[in-house]
Amino acid sequence: MKIGIPRGLLYYNDFPFWKTFFENLGHQVVLSQKTNRDTLTQGVNFAVDDVCLPVKVYFGHVLQLLKDSSIDKVFIPNVISNKKAKYYCPKLFAISDIISNMSDMANNKLLEIEVNAQKSRRHFFSQLLKLSNECGTRSYITTLLAHQKAKKEQNLYIKKLKQGYLPTELLENNTDLNDNTEILKIGVFGHTYNVNDEFINMGILNKLRELKAKPVTAEMYTDSELEYGLNRLYKPTFWSFGEEILGASLRQIDKREVDGVILPVAFGCGPDSLIIEICEREFSENNIPLLILTLDEHTGKAGLNTRVEAFIDMLNRRREAI
């Protein structure tokens, strides 16, 4: 069986897990194309107006896979939570239901699973058994072994992220890291899909490399390192991505591990609007350079590049003056 996985949203977080799981069940995993203008156009035409750019892009990826007659099933997990008392965006809670209700092509072609850390591990494994059964695998042992191998592969992926690799470098087998300590280090803290999808962010990571700046992302920090930054907050956050962004950002007040911070945020994202407010206030009080890039389908690459170039020029002048 060919199983399609959209190259969007949490693809950058957990693709190694699902790829390994399905392959060990004996299936072939097929990715949608990299995000392009056609992906966005299809997603915009499919989505309602108030959803953010990354969700529109995700819809475009799903439609591309649904239209491919060689693909038997399209895998769309409903991801609610990855930690106790932490949640993802509400649109991710029922993303498969949204697609099912809006497209006749989705009938009998979607593979769904609920990922919810608020429930027990046994509940998650029961979901995996149900998923395996839908794929034609009714063996408990086969599913168990596939799950174990998938967890091992996912843990290896996370370990490499903490070593300084970017998700795109690992997922595309391009792991040539630039370890030159003389270049600027720029924190690019945001939702993984805003940071790593080159179409959504207009290639900001490559632009930084061209300008001799090394991007540092929130995925490179351990949980304890993120917790150090989060201790500056008066109360815990509820959003998983928000916690990562704030943890990586606020630790810079004391640690100063980067020369400046860029926050790529999707227009209309509620949690991001709060994150921006906190970061702007804290960074202003502590003299940390901050650039906020708001992304939607109308964002122009030329204007975005100009802002990034000006930000890096300012940081270079600031560094020379020290």
Q: Is the pTM of this model over 0.85?
A: yes
Cα gap 240→89, rounded to integer Å: 9
**Nearest residue to 150 via CA among 169, 178, 164, 131:** 131
With the C-alpha atoms ordered 199, 33, 46, 245, is the resulting torsion angle positive or negative?
negative
Going from the C-alpha of 211 to that of each of 152, 183, 197, 207, 309, the distances in angstroms are 37, 9, 19, 6, 8
CATH, range 167-321: 3.40.50.11900
Q: Of all helices (H) and strands (E), which one includes residue 9?
A: none
**138-181 per-position pLDDT tens digit:** 889 999 999 999 999 999 999 999 999 999 999 988 766 555 55
Quote the CA–CA distance of 7 and 130 in Å, as a whole number: 24
Q: Which of 251, 223, 222, 241 is nearest to 162 (CA)?
A: 222
Give the separation between CA 258 and CA 214, rounded to whole angstroms: 9
pLDDT tens digits for range 270-306: 888 889 999 999 999 999 999 999 998 888 889 999 9
CA distance 196 to 101: 29
Matching residue, tokens 């203008």: 37
Distance, CA of 15 to CA of 13 (rounded, Å): 6
CA distances from residue 21 to 25, 140, 143, 309 in whole angstroms, order as listed: 7, 13, 8, 42
45, 249, 316 from 263: Cα distances, Å: 27, 9, 19
Helix or strand run (H / E) with residue 189: none
> The tokens 């030329």 sit on which residue?
302
Q: What is the mean pLDDT of each run of 10 residues along the chain (322 residues)?
A: 95 96 96 95 86 93 93 93 86 84 78 90 92 90 96 97 93 69 86 95 93 94 94 88 94 94 91 91 94 90 93 91 73
| Residue 25 in tokens | 């069940």
Predicted confidence at residue 174, as pLDDT, reads 74
Q: Which of 278, 210, 254, 244 is nearest to 10 (CA)?
A: 244
Backbone angles phi, psi at 187, to 5 degrees: -75, 120
Half-sphere exposure of 308 (CA within 13 A, CB side): 28
